[in-house]
Amino acid sequence: MFITENAKIVEKDGKKLVTDCTCVFDGCACDDIACEVVNNEIVTVYNACKVGTANFLPCRGAERFTTPLWRASKKEAFKPISWDEALDKAADILIKAKHPMLFGWSETSVEAIREGVRLTELVGGTIDGQVTHCHGPSVQAIQEVGYAGATLGEVKNRADLIIYWGCNPMNAHARHMSRYSTYVSGFFRRHGRQERKLVVVDPRHTDTAKLADVHIQIELGSDYEAFQTLRALIRGAAVTKEKVGGIPIAVWKQLAEDMKAASYGAIFFGLGLTHSASKKNSVAAAIGLTQDLCNITKFQIMPLRGHYNVAGLNQVLSWLTGYPYGVNFARGFPRYNIGEFTGVDMLRRKEVDAMLNIAADPGAHMPQKSVQHMAEIPLIACDIHPTPTTELANLIIPGTHDGIECEASCYRMDGIPIHLRKIVDPPEGCKPSNAHWLQELVQVVEKKLGEKHV
Amino acid sequence: MPAIKIHVTSGATVPQGVIIKGGGKKLPDYRNVAAVIYLDMADFKRMGTFPGTAVEVRNECGKVVVSSQLTPDGPHPGIAFMPRGPWANVIIGPETKCSGCPQYKDTVVEVEPVPEKAPLQMADLMRQQYIDPLK
């Protein structure tokens, strides 16, 4: 609480300027945002990227949920109901279900996730999130071969070779290059971009590739081969193939030389690795390459995490259950098995008979077979705006915008916890925070189950 | 106008991110930025159409009508890009090979021009695709 009290808030001409806010868009979690507020409404946003700004200033005509909505059949229209009724119905759905899934969590606070784990344990369900079908394979690779990571501050201050592999930060993490890696001036890199070399490996000439010193346009799905080739070249082995991933071997040789010559290199990889056929093997090969390079110079590797608190779900689940995602409580204790207890798979196999979705949009981002089952089962969706998921829901719970309408915490992509500052009050009808209504739901469930809150 | 076979990869774009984060998924803008397939000029020549034509993208998972646009990230003949969203996910395979993660990049599809059709709005797509088939 003390952070909000100490925040720099300047009031002038009826406008309030709130500084040091955190952007609640992507894993960069930029904490240098300033907002101008008039009558409890944000009117101007400073420093954020285009997508980050949209978080603070919704689209013209965007609808906002402020009251719970219910429909018994998915073919009917929604009717507004009270919060008490909504929590009662949500508790009934989750308790009645034999195998409920509590999905999402990456765009809400650490505090809300903690309540979510408690709720999952009470109802004997499965807790999982977007993390599984984004950087889940990266977590698996880290479990297998370890991790040579660093913080983004270290990259900013030291890195002279930046490699973006299978990712397009100019579109998905718009301030990553300017704030943490490429353009920013650091303690040992005073001249910023002039002192850094930028290499992009991507099958398309993306907006990031357009800014690069070297763009290696490899064939789709040839990342594993390329990483192992680089490892061989760095170890001094002879490579007899003329082309790897459609790229002449001379280009890979040059990249290997650049890597060895760098005083501090940083590899950032994205969903290009985790979403192609070799999945965790590509990431494991990339980590192996980083480990090999650390014998010669200093290198780090980091996944570009998507949502602002997607790393938070991994962290909170790891402290509370010991596992990073896809955790099942059906037997009363946490179990973890990738493929068995992961969201996309359980829905595809129709093993889930009720679902609570919060701060995620699986209706838009899961394959059609999984979404089909979501349409067939009782679905509770908590969101602030209409989404494809709320179109399939029976019960819509109006969410609170964590980090804008309430104080919260999140984990940045490099695992640094960040406090999010409150800027405006939530709209009338919404609860003070997502953690708040989840705590109330836990109490309703406990009352119905006859257990005491521990 | 012949159908062509092509590899599709999906991912985030800035215009789509602005609509998603701004809460505009039920607005026509969402369809305009997400119900799109970005193709290389060489692939437009193979199909014999101009950018802007509606196309049906299909494979064994399903079929969906989207607008075809000229890629800003070319040249990448033989590779198409779709912004992630409910339209792209109609053709994404649900199989995760026990990894929890479907293959959102590199899906083989057939793209056929259908100038007489138009992409559906989000709510209509969800209803037609998932709610109407319910008993």
Distance CA A144, CA A281 (A): 10
With beta carbons under 8 A apart, name residues in chain B contacting A369. 61, 94
Beta carbons of B94 and B65 less than 8 angstroms apart: no
Task: Test B17 with A385 for CB contact under 8 angstroms.
Answer: no
Query: Is A349's Cβ below 8 Å from some Cβ in B?
Result: no
Beta carbons of B57 and B109 less than 8 angstroms apart: yes
**A452-to-A12, A263, A442 alpha-carbon distances in Å:** 50, 57, 10
Beta carbons of A381 and A366 less than 8 angstroms apart: no
Distance CA B79, CA B5 (A): 10
Beta carbons of A366 and A133 less than 8 angstroms apart: yes
Q: List beta partners, residue B54.
A: B67
Measured over all CA atoms, what is the biggest interatomic distance in chain B, rounded to whole angstroms?
A: 46
Q: Chain B closest CA to A69's CA: distance in Å?
A: 17
The structural domains of chain B, with segments of one domain joined by +, span 4-131
ipTM of the complex: 0.95
Task: Test A344 with B12 for CB contact under 8 angstroms.
Answer: no
Q: Chain A closest CA to B129's CA: distance in Å?
A: 8
Query: Is A376's Cβ below 8 Å from some Cβ in B?
Result: yes
Fold exhibited by the domain B4-131: Barwin-like endoglucanases (2.40.40)
Enumerate helices (H) and strands (E) in chain B, giving the number of each. Answer: 4, 6
Q: What domains can be seen in chain A, in order of their start residue?
A: 69-134+308-402+425-449 (3.40.50.740), 136-303 (3.40.228.10)
Q: Chain A closest CA to B16's CA: distance in Å?
A: 9
Beta carbons of B111 and B47 less than 8 angstroms apart: yes
Of residues B25, B89, B100, nearest to A367 (C-beta): B89
Q: Chain A closest CA to B77's CA: distance in Å?
A: 10
* A220 Cβ neighbours under 8 A, 6+ residues apart: A203, A276, B7, B9, B79, B105, B106
Mutate to test the interface with A, among B21, B30, B73, B135 (most CBs of A within 10 A): B21
Count of residues for chain A?
A: 454
Query: Is A66's Cβ below 8 Å from some Cβ in B?
Result: no
Per-residue pLDDT 10s for chain A (454 aa) are 334 455 567 787 788 899 999 999 999 999 999 999 999 999 999 999 999 999 999 988 999 999 999 999 999 999 999 999 999 999 999 999 999 999 999 999 999 999 999 999 999 999 999 999 999 999 999 999 999 999 999 999 999 999 999 999 999 999 999 999 999 999 999 999 999 999 999 999 999 999 999 999 999 999 999 999 999 999 999 999 999 999 999 999 999 999 999 999 999 999 999 998 899 999 999 999 999 999 999 999 999 998 999 999 999 999 999 999 999 999 999 999 999 999 999 999 999 999 999 999 999 999 999 999 999 999 999 999 999 999 999 999 999 999 999 999 999 999 999 999 999 999 999 999 999 999 999 999 999 998 555 5
Distance CA A440, CA A87 (A): 8
> Coil, strand or helix: which one is A396?
strand
Task: Test A203 with B131 for CB contact under 8 angstroms.
Answer: no
- Provide the token pair at A100: 């409920």
